[in-house]
Amino acid sequence: MGIRELAMSILLVFGVMLAGNSAHAQRSNYQFETGNTLLEKCESRQGTTGYYICLGYLVGVADTFDALRPTTRFDYCLREGATNAQLQRVVVKYLKEHPEELDLSAGWLVVLALTDAFHCSPE
């Protein structure tokens, strides 16, 4: 599989994750990870399994989002030097400030938190 095919596959999976949230919710309320379950993990004590699952999830979404940034309309530029712990604090802050959204897809909420916290600088 070439780079182009891999990028298109990632884009398709990410698009299904983003677009599928509302369509899937009409059939079923199940999601792999919601804001509620992610917040619980991200508030786990450092060094616990939940904490590391949170960091892995956030880094995975952030890396995917960064790779797809040129193809999206989102204003997101993760600054050099940002740490995993910083991502965790940004996402936890967003989730706590938006409790009405905690039933939504965790991936979508992470994207919203990142775009809210890491706007691109005008060039």
Q: What is the CATH number of the domain that holds 40?
A: 1.10.890.40
Cα Rg, the chain, nearest whole Å: 15
Q: Is residue 99 part of a domain?
A: yes
pLDDT > 80? residue 20:
no
pLDDT the model gives residue 1: 46
Task: Please check whether residue 70 lies inside any domain of the structure.
Answer: yes
Whether residue 23 has pLDDT greater than 90: no
Note whether residue 71 is domain-resident. Answer: yes
pLDDT digits 0-9 by tens, 78-123: 888 999 999 999 999 999 999 999 999 999 999 999 999 998 866 5
Nearest to 89 by CA among 112, 58, 48: 58
Helix (H, G, I), strand (E, B) or coil at 29: coil
Q: How far apart are CA 48 and CA 17, in angstroms?
A: 27
Which residue is associated with the tokens 């706007």? 119
Query: Quick one: how far is CA 117 from the chain centroid?
Result: 12
For residue 123, tell me if it sits in a domain: no
Ramachandran sector of residue 81 (left: φ over 0; alpha: ψ -120 to 50; beta: rest): left
Answer whether residue 15 is part of any domain: yes
Tell me the per-residue pLDDT of 32-86, one tens digit each, with 9 for 90 and over.
Answer: 899 999 999 999 999 999 999 999 999 999 988 888 878 877 778 888 899 999 9
Q: What is the DSSP string of 74-107?
A: ----PPTT--HHHHHHHHHHHHHH-GGGTTSBHH
Residue at 122 is within a domain: no
Distance CA 94, CA 70 (A): 24
- Predicted pLDDT of residue 6: 43
Cα separation of 110 and 93, whole Å? 11
- Is residue 19 a part of any domain in this protein? yes
Is residue 24 one of the residues assigned to a domain?
A: yes
pLDDT at res. 120: 82
Q: Tell me which residue range forms the domain holding 93.
A: 3-117
Q: How many domains is the chain partitioned into structurally?
A: 1
